[in-house]
Amino acid sequence: MSPKVSDAYKEERRQSILDVALRCFAEKGYGSTTVDDIAAGLGVSKGVVYLYFAGKEELYKQVMEERMQQSITGMKKRFRPEDGAENKLRQVFHAFRNQSLPELKRLLAFYLEFWLESSRREDLKAVMDRQSTYAEDFIASIVEEGIRSGEFRPDADPADFSALFWATRDGIALQFVGGGEDADYRKRMEAMERTLLGSLLQSGK
């Protein structure tokens, strides 16, 4: 009566499909990725993918939904209660800066393509918006915390800062998707950290 395979096993498999799918979508693009590519990457048959996801598009959405939030959630978890807002922000910059460039390119290629596609298809748009909101809230809430604690300028606008933060990150990303050196990327991210963080810290103190 009990299921032959445990829920844990199922979840594990589900995650591994998402992993492989992200990699495939990023490297070949959504249109050029076949369900067989993903199954082959997992070493299983096509049928398995359909056992866990309703279809290719559904899989695409869920990669965005889960994998993109995962990096943010990962950061959140690493925050300790005693970390201040500035410290948290620095951890965020640090995390972005120290991603390996190949992996970053993968994530960004996936992300940019999803963005593009979402501007064309309503159902993807909803996923994208949810994702954007989650990301914006993440940064905005740190800023709010910093304002409350007096670490950041009281006149800083959490929403504006957050928008600027992601716009800059995306802009830089764009430059490096096509190719670029690891060192250049880190330098660019440091400049971003200096500029953005500088605009938040109390100027007069």
Q: Which residues bind a second copy (CB under 8 A)?
A: 27-29, 31-32, 105, 109, 112-113, 115-120, 125, 128, 163, 167-168, 170-172, 174-175, 177-179
Q: Give least dist CB 125 to DNA, A.
A: 19
The residue (of 33 and 62) whose beta carbon lies closer to a second copy is 33
Choosing among a second copy, DNA, none, which partner's interface includes residue 33 (Cβ < 5 to 8 Å by kind)?
A: DNA
Binds 88: which of a second copy, DNA, none (CB < 5-8 Å by kind) = none
112 binds, among DNA, a second copy, none (CB under 5 to 8 A by kind): a second copy
Smallest gap from Cβ 33 to DNA, in A, equals 6
Minimum Å gap between C-beta 49 and DNA is 8
Element (H or E) spanning 42, and its range?
Answer: helix 35-42
Report CA 132 to chain centroid distance, whole Å: 10
Q: Say how far apart CA 56 and CA 62 lie, in whole Å.
A: 10
Distant-in-sequence, close-in-space partners of 179: CB < 8 Å, separation ≥ 6: none
Q: Which two tokens stand for residue 136?
A: 């914006």
Burial class of 173 by CB neighbour count within 10 A (0 to 12, 13 to 18, 19+):
buried
CA 146 to chain centre: 23
**Cβ proximity to a second copy, 87 vs 132, nearer residue:** 132
Nearer to DNA by Cβ, of 11 and 170: the residue is: 11
- Spatial neighbors of 203 by CB under 8 A, at least 6 apart, are 153
For DNA, the closer of residues 1 and 183 by Cβ is 1
Instruction: Decide whether 37 or 151 has the Cβ nearer to DNA.
Output: 37
Quote the crossing angle between the two packed helices 85-98 and 182-200, to the nearest 10°: 170
Q: Return the number of the residue (40 or 112) whose C-beta is nearest DNA.
A: 40
Buried residues in 14-44 as b, exposed as e (16+ CB within 10 A)? eeebbebbbbbbbeeebeebebebbbebbeb
Q: What are the residues binding DNA (CB under 7 A)? A: 1, 3-5, 10, 13, 32-36, 44-48, 50-51, 55-57
Out of DNA, a second copy, none, which partner does residue 168 contact, by CB within 5 to 8 A per kind? a second copy
